[in-house]
Amino acid sequence: GAGVSQTPSNKVTEKGKYVELRCDPISGHTALYWYRQSLGQGPEFLIYFQGTGAADDSGLPNDRFFAVRPEGSVSTLKIQRTERGDSAVYLCASSLGLAGGLETQYFGPGTRLLVL
């Protein structure tokens, strides 16, 4: 089966605009994660879904960031009133979601967001 896919691969927007980033996890994976990677840094955790619910959103930087996963598969990360500091690569990962499991997270190629 296919790996994690993310669309768009690149997004250029203007400061103040709204953007949506999409993630299609590996089929059958119930856990889904969003990370943000700034230049020269490692990925930083944003939010984790188990099924349809956000089990941990402690990494979201502020209330301009929101993510949904209404049917427990595809997820959308939404950023309102974008700022230049939001420019980064947004990575999505998925895993099986087994209870108590020490699981490997499989990453998509990322969406490169540039806010002008």
Partner 1 sequence: DQQVKQNSPSLSVQEGRISILNCDYTNSMFDYFLWYKKYPAEGPTFLISISSIKDKNEDGRFTVFLNKSAKHLSLHIVPSQPGDSAVYFCAAMNSNTGNQFYFGTGTSLTVIP
66 contacts partner 1 (rule: CB under 8 A): no
91 contacts partner 1 (rule: CB under 8 A): yes
Among the listed residues 115, 82, 93, 111, the one whose alpha carbon sits nearest the alpha carbon of residue 22: 111
Touching partner 1, residues 3-62 (CB under 8 A): 4, 6, 31, 33, 35, 40-45, 48, 50, 55-56, 58-59
Among the listed residues 76, 89, 85, the one whose alpha carbon sits nearest the alpha carbon of residue 24: 76
70 contacts partner 1 (rule: CB under 8 A): no
Secondary structure element (H or E) that encloses residue 57, with its range: none
The token pair at 13 is 């927007």
90 contacts partner 1 (rule: CB under 8 A): no
77 contacts partner 1 (rule: CB under 8 A): no
103 contacts partner 1 (rule: CB under 8 A): yes
- Angle 35-58-50 (CA atoms, 0-180°, nearest 5)? 70
Neighbours of 36 (CB within 10 A): 21
Judged by the rule CB under 8 A, the positions of this chain that interact with partner 1 are 4, 6, 31, 33, 35, 40-45, 48, 50, 55-56, 58-59, 91, 93, 95, 100, 102-110
